[in-house]
């Protein structure tokens, strides 16, 4: 029996035709001489009926159970009126089966195969091939596939050359922890799985390819959070002889095409906001603002130096800031208890408390209202933009703590109050003019904000010279942001050895260490490397957003869990000691996994 | 200065226009007040002229050297008659440069950047970014890129879902040596880089995706030969509910599309020969025949049992075979010395010698001619198909040695005598009906000819039962062959646990070992896995053939050398001992690399 179409595609246009379908038993209702089976394939579900007119088929139907694989041939007929299901594409018809075959049987699955099923996450990963049968997972991975096809097609049509770069690469310092691969030919030596194709794509520009593109797997051995995986995928491109603005414009067009192809959304490129990093931090407290939320952070520092409220006044005197967020209609929604909860949350950013005011028709209300005279109250309203019925939330203290707190409060209150705009649901922004360096609390030193190959602004090049403060420099870098998520990060690269050497020095590399780590790149730059720049977009995150999911695991076929384990195959596993001997390795296996120590 | 077009694209249609170009100095001829520069970019070369009318530009030209990167603006003018270069697309015109800028300088490269340059292979790999600037390498990688775009587009248009499978996977027995990746969370445990996505794609069929496609990187830690790399790329697909013939037909259409898109060749699918494995071995001595060579191997065993030539007669008596190859026009071309050389070569296959006859108008000629009477001589001519002027080469002995020898002799003599047909330059063939198992001299045991998941022919399933000889079974597998190269290997897969268990048993797995290695797959098959099959084509090899190259390194941007080292970055390298401690690893570095021991 040869399939004639997908089960999920049979509709009224097939009426009276004979079709052969294959698929899985989603549900069976057995009335003895009459059996109904919902047959599922990747396109959807169709109802099969089996009756005594076709005893062979009926016998098969009686034998079949959930998740059996069937092939059936039958006639497409109209359903009885009381059988019509308007929720299904095939809801008007059913197949009267004449012939049936069981292609594979199935044990009872460990969980129901339907969307929203309540099953243990680890169990679902262990039986991933069953969980992936759910319509939602099928849809998610098809969205990801469409996204890749669209991205690739645009790049091909714009003369980008798809070039594969090595996965067995060199371990480099900077950045996250590498996954290592021991060498058998040179025992004691290791390849590293690349954290990105960054260096290779710069070398490809040095090689004159002019426009490079790759869908590249990247690897980072980091502690895992909800939106991180040990391996992830980037839409990676690089071009020569283009300015930052030209690259941003090209990427905007690319994203427009993807949005059209994947979610049929007409993105108006003129709607993509371009914000400097500073402006984004000032207005939204973050470098990845969610522009679907209309209200913004306002700086009230100028008026707070000599108010009676000591907390604010002292903050300003100590060099801190006082900023406010006027949450529209928030006065009624938030009780003191609610506000206590918000306060608790922002303590993780270092906030010492959360001052607030409610705006009524009669003026300001709340425990700190008494500290402001009429004129100051008016100024608070003017500067914060608050209106009657709003809740004003204050951040006071160190710049970065205030930013993180008010960013969180903005997103949380918008979610609570349904203030995330649904018209123009996809709000992209370019964040430009980033600092070249940022201070890393993790490393306890200054690191490259983007990466060590990012070109400073022309006018800031002097900051890398002897005796100047490199941390003043800003960079020719740009992030693409969508609805509060960073989609990708790009920059113009350093193509001159002298600048690259200064940059590495500013990052604390001795000349010897710089040579050891990046000697091949520095040497390459002596042989005519062109001006170049590019970007990498996170495919997993973009697919997640376009699929309407909130975890990238939902758009990855076989993800790792939070301990970097794949519960189905149980990778990683112990290996044969002979294999290790060939690699010149000895292991000291720990009694317990590292993350439990 | 913003580039207006590629240098290599400027031709007569641009006459009198002002253009801005960027690129590399290929060649400079300096006549003081007049300087010519050949400017190269990825599209080709254009001639720039600099003269005293534009002193700023002239000064730049005088400063420029080979491989400097320039931006220039100038007018497209017709060349003087004696300057016309018919070899260049831009040979009728040149650019009179008005403004020039040096974007990057260059040291003198370690070798000339031109095709056919005579430089040490290792040096070229060390400066790969320079070697890649050569027009031929640019062309090769663009062919590869085109091939990927074409392959992807066809798959997208045929509703295949592009799904990425993990690179941090589980180490499995069978097959080649795995590259391992130590786990930090579970010290002493290892991921393996996959040798192919085989198991994952079967699981995706189990998950109901129906049609899967991926351009997948694969990894094998094997000893390297000219056409092997530690990492390589497959065009990988899998489908459900299709027969072997249907899959072959789909792949034939796919390849037809690729040939059209990449090399503009109209492949007639009816010209793709379908040969059983046995027929291919009989006629060509190999499972990957070059069908551009018209002459074939003939079996003369039937007549040789009682000839006077003892070597042949005894071979037959001992159960061996005597086969012959009539090389058209070979009688004159090959001296005894030449034949001695061929003999020497086939000794590596185990051949003990090479008997031969030359055919003249007067009959057979050569040292063994005297052993055959007239009737036998006539039979030799009839069976071998030899005509006057031909050279008959004999293989006598064990079946496999004769096959390997005559396969080699067929290809070598065809190359020597220019007998490789150039009409229909791309000869594809499907080789079908393979043995399920083959005896491996390397392993000293029977192994899966394809892989352990290959479905036997329906009528051969009983061979896997207790007390039968599994090595009799043939498989539902198929190879795609092009011009003597294996492009890819596919099969219908086992989708039932009972058959898979028998197959693993026949391969020597105990039930425990089978569970440990493939338990997740065996368990999956209990939950309704559909009939499935697929194929993987070697992208590197196909790109190599389409680019007219004879080494896959020529179509890989950053290949490894024969010791699996990347001479540019020098990967693999030593790593920080702290990194190893985190992984619970100790290394015992060898004094010398493993391959020199």
Residues B170-205 pLDDT 10s: 988 767 899 999 999 998 999 999 999 999 999 999
Residue B209 domain-assigned (yes or no): no
A378 lies in the same domain as A472: no
pLDDT band at B596 (very low <50, low <70, confident <90, very high): very low
A198 lies in the same domain as A152: yes
pLDDT: which is higher, A582 or B387:
B387
A78 lies in the same domain as A29: yes
Query: Can you tell me the distance from the alpha carbon of A567 to that of A127, in angstroms, rounded to the nearest whole number?
Result: 8
DSSP helix/strand/coil, B278: helix
Look up residue B14 and give its DSSP letter: G
Which residue in this structure is represented by tokens 């509910």? B241
Domain at B66, CATH number: 2.40.50.140
With 80 as the cut, is the pLDDT of residue B27 above it? yes
* Neighboring chain A residues of B191 at a CB cutoff of 8 Å: 571-572
**Quick one: pLDDT at residue B589?**
59
**How many Cβ pairs closer than 8 A exist between chain A and B?**
381
Closest residue in A to B540 (Cα–Cα): A164
Query: Can you tell me the distance from the alpha carbon of B544 to that of B550, in angstroms, rounded to the nearest whole number?
Result: 7
A90 lies in the same domain as A27: yes
Q: How many CA atoms lie within 13 A of A323 on its CB side?
A: 27
Q: Which H or E element spans position B482?
A: strand B477-482
Domain at A511, CATH number: 3.30.930.10
Q: Is B580 annotated as a binding residue?
A: no
DSSP strand pairing (A428-432 vs A477-482): antiparallel
Quote the minimal CA–CA distance from B569 to chain A in Å. 6
Domain at B321, CATH number: 3.30.1360.30
Query: Can you tell me the distance from the alpha carbon of B349 to that of B180, in angstroms, rounded to the nearest whole number?
Result: 34
**Quick one: pLDDT at residue B592?**
56
Structure tokens at A222: 């980091």
Q: Which residue in A106, A133, A181 has the most chain B C-beta atoms within 10 A of its own C-beta, making it the best mutation to test that interface? A: A181
Cβ contact, residue pair B209, A184, below 8 Å: no
Which residue in this structure is represented by tokens 């801190």? A320
pLDDT: which is higher, A160 or B585:
A160
**Quick one: pLDDT at residue A82?**
87
Q: Which residue in A528, A564, A581, A590 has the most chain B C-beta atoms within 10 A of its own C-beta, making it the best mutation to test that interface? A: A528
Query: Can you tell me the distance from the alpha carbon of B325 to that of B318, in angstroms, rounded to the nearest whole number?
Result: 22
The residue-averaged pLDDT of B465-481 equals 94
With 90 as the cut, is the pLDDT of residue B249 above it? yes
Average pLDDT, chain B: 94
Query: Can you tell me the distance from the alpha carbon of A370 to that of B89, in angstroms, rounded to the nearest whole number?
Result: 82
Cβ contact, residue pair A208, B233, below 8 Å: no
**Quick one: pLDDT at residue A597?**
38
**Quick one: pLDDT at residue B578?**
85
Query: Can you tell me the distance from the alpha carbon of A24 to that of B528, in angstroms, rounded to the nearest whole number?
Result: 8
Q: Edge-to-edge strand order for the sheet containing A231-240?
A: A161-162, A211-219, A231-240, A532-538, A485-493, A477-482, A428-432, A273-276
Q: Which H or E element spans position B486?
A: strand B485-493
Query: Can you tell me the distance from the alpha carbon of A532 to that of A530, in angstroms, rounded to the nearest whole number?
Result: 6
Look up residue A529 and give its DSSP letter: P
A299 lies in the same domain as A266: no
**Quick one: pLDDT at residue B597?**
38
A436 lies in the same domain as A562: yes
Q: Is A479 annotated as a binding residue?
A: no
Cβ contact, residue pair B163, A24, below 8 Å: no
Cβ contact, residue pair A106, B574, below 8 Å: no
**Quick one: pLDDT at residue B35?**
97
Cα dist. B156→A396, A556, B85, B211, B213 in Å?
54, 19, 44, 10, 9
Percentage, residues of chain B above pLDDT 70: 98
A389 lies in the same domain as A512: no
Structure tokens at A136: 């939602």
Last residue of a domain, one of A354, A387, A416: A416
B82 contact partners, CB below 8 Å, separation of at least 6 = none
Residue B308 domain-assigned (yes or no): yes
Residue B80 domain-assigned (yes or no): yes
How many domains in chain B?
2
Q: Which residue in B129, B175, B228 has the most chain A C-beta atoms within 10 A of its own C-beta, making it the best mutation to test that interface? A: B129
In B334-388, where does DSSP find H-type helix? 336-346, 374-384
Closest residue in A to B202 (Cα–Cα): A129
Show the domain range for B12.
7-104
In B298-357, where does DSSP find H-type helix? 301-304, 310-317, 330-333, 336-346
A260 lies in the same domain as A299: no
For chain B, give percent helix, strand, coil, nearest 5: 35, 25, 40
pTM higher than 0.90, yes or no? Answer: yes
The residue-averaged pLDDT of B229-256 equals 97
Query: Can you tell me the distance from the alpha carbon of A584 to that of A579, in angstroms, rounded to the nearest whole number?
Result: 9
A356 lies in the same domain as A461: no
A75 lies in the same domain as A186: no
The residue-averaged pLDDT of B530-556 equals 97
* Neighboring chain B residues of A137 at a CB cutoff of 8 Å: 207
**Helices and strands counted in chain A (H then E):** 17, 23
Q: What is the ipTM of this complex?
A: 0.95
For B376, other C-beta atoms within 10 Å of its C-beta total: 18
**Quick one: pLDDT at residue B117?**
83
A340 lies in the same domain as A365: yes
Cα dist. A202→A453, A525, B381 in Å?
9, 10, 64
Q: Could you list the pLDDT tens digit for every one of the 597 residues in chain A? A: 899 999 999 999 999 999 999 999 999 999 989 999 999 999 999 999 999 999 999 999 999 999 999 999 999 999 988 889 888 888 999 999 999 999 999 999 999 999 888 889 999 999 999 999 999 999 999 999 999 999 999 999 999 999 999 999 998 876 789 999 999 999 889 999 999 999 999 999 999 999 999 999 999 998 876 678 999 999 999 999 999 999 999 999 999 999 999 999 999 999 999 999 999 999 999 999 999 999 999 999 999 998 999 999 999 999 999 999 999 999 999 999 999 999 999 999 999 999 999 999 999 999 999 999 999 999 999 999 999 999 999 999 999 999 999 999 999 999 999 999 998 899 999 999 999 999 888 788 889 999 999 999 999 999 999 889 999 999 999 999 999 999 999 999 999 999 999 999 999 999 999 999 999 999 999 999 999 999 999 999 999 999 999 999 999 999 999 899 999 999 999 888 888 888 889 887 555 555 543
Could you give the dihedral angle defined by the CA atoms of residues B250, B255, B261 and B264, in that order, rounded to the nearest 10 degrees?
A: -130
Last residue of a domain, one of A416, A439, A467: A416
Last residue of a domain, one of B46, B73, B104: B104
**Helices and strands counted in chain B (H then E):** 17, 23
Q: Is B486 annotated as a binding residue?
A: yes
A493 lies in the same domain as A529: yes
Residue A74 domain-assigned (yes or no): yes
**Quick one: pLDDT at residue B281?**
97
């Amino acid at each position: 029996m040869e399939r004639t179409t997908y089960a999920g595609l049979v509709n009224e246009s097939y009426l009276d035709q004979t079709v052969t379908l294959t698929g899985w038993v989603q549900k069976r209702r057995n009335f003895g001489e009459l059996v109904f089976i919902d047959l599922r394939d990747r396109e959807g579900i169709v109802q099969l009926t089996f009756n005594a007119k076709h005893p062979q088929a009926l016998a098969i139907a009686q034998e079949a159970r959930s998740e059996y694989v069937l092939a059936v041939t039958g006639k497409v007929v109209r359903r009885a009126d009381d059988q019509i299901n308007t929720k299904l594409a095939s809801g008007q018809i059913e197949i009267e089966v004449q012939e049936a075959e069981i292609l594979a049987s199935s044990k009872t699955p460990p969980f129901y195969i339907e969307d929203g099923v309540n099953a243990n996450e680890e169990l679902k990963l262990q039986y991933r091939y069953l969980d992936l049968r759910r319509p939602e997972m099928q849809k998610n991975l098809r969205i990801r596939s469409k996204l890749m096809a669209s991205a690739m097609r645009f790049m091909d049509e714009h003369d980008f050359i798809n070039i594969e770069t090595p996965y067995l690469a060199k371990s480099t310092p900077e950045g996250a922890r590498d996954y290592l691969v021991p060498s058998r030919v040179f025992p004691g030596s290791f390849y590293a799985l690349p954290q990105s194709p960054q260096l290779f794509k710069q070398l490809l520009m040095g090689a004159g390819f002019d426009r490079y593109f790759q869908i590249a797997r990247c690897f980072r051995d980091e502690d895992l959070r909800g939106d991180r995986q040990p391996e992830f995928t980037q839409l990676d491109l690089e071009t020569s002889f283009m300015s930052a603005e030209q690259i941003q414009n090209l990427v905007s067009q690319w994203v427009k095409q993807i949005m059209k192809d994947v979610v049929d959304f007409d993105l108006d490129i003129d709607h993509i906001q371009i914000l400097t990093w500073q402006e984004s931090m000032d207005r939204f407290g973050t470098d990845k603002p969610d522009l679907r939320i209309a209200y913004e952070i306002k700086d009230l520092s100028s008026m707070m130096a000599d108010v009676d409220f000591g907390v604010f006044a002292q903050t300003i005197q100590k060099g801190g800031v006082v900023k406010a967020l006027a949450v529209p209609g928030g006065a009624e929604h938030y009780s003191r208890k609610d506000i206590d909860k918000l306060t608790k949350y922002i303590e993780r950013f270092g906030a010492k408390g959360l001052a607030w005011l409610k705006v009524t028709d009669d003026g300001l209300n709340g425990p700190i209202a008494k500290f402001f005279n009429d004129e100051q109250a008016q100024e608070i309203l003017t500067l914060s933009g608050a209106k009657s019925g709003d809740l004003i939330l204050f951040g006071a203290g160190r710049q970065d703590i205030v930013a993180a707190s008010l960013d969180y409060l903005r997103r949380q209150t918008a979610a609570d109050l349904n203030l995330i705009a649904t018209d123009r649901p996809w709000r992209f922004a370019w964040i430009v003019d980033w600092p070249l360096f940022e201070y890393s609390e993790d490393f306890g030193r200054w690191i490259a904000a983007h990466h060590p190959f990012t070109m400073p602004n022309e006018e800031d090049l002097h900051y890398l010279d002897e005796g100047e403060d490199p941390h003043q420099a800003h960079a020719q870098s740009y992030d693409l942001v969508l609805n509060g998520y960073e989609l990708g990060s790009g920059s113009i690269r350093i193509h001159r050895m002298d600048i690259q050497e200064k940059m590495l020095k500013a990052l604390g590399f001795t000349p010897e260490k710089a040579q050891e780590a990046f000697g091949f790149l520095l040497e390459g730059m002596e042989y005519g490397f062109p001006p170049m720049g590019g970007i990498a977009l996170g495919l997993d995150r973009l697919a997640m957003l376009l699929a309407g999911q909130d975890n990238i695991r939902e758009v990855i076929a076989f993800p790792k869990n939070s301990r970097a384990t794949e519960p189905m195959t149980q990778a990683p596993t112990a290996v044969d000691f002979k294999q290790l001997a060939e690699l010149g390795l000895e292991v000291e296996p720990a009694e317990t996994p590292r993350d439990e120590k």
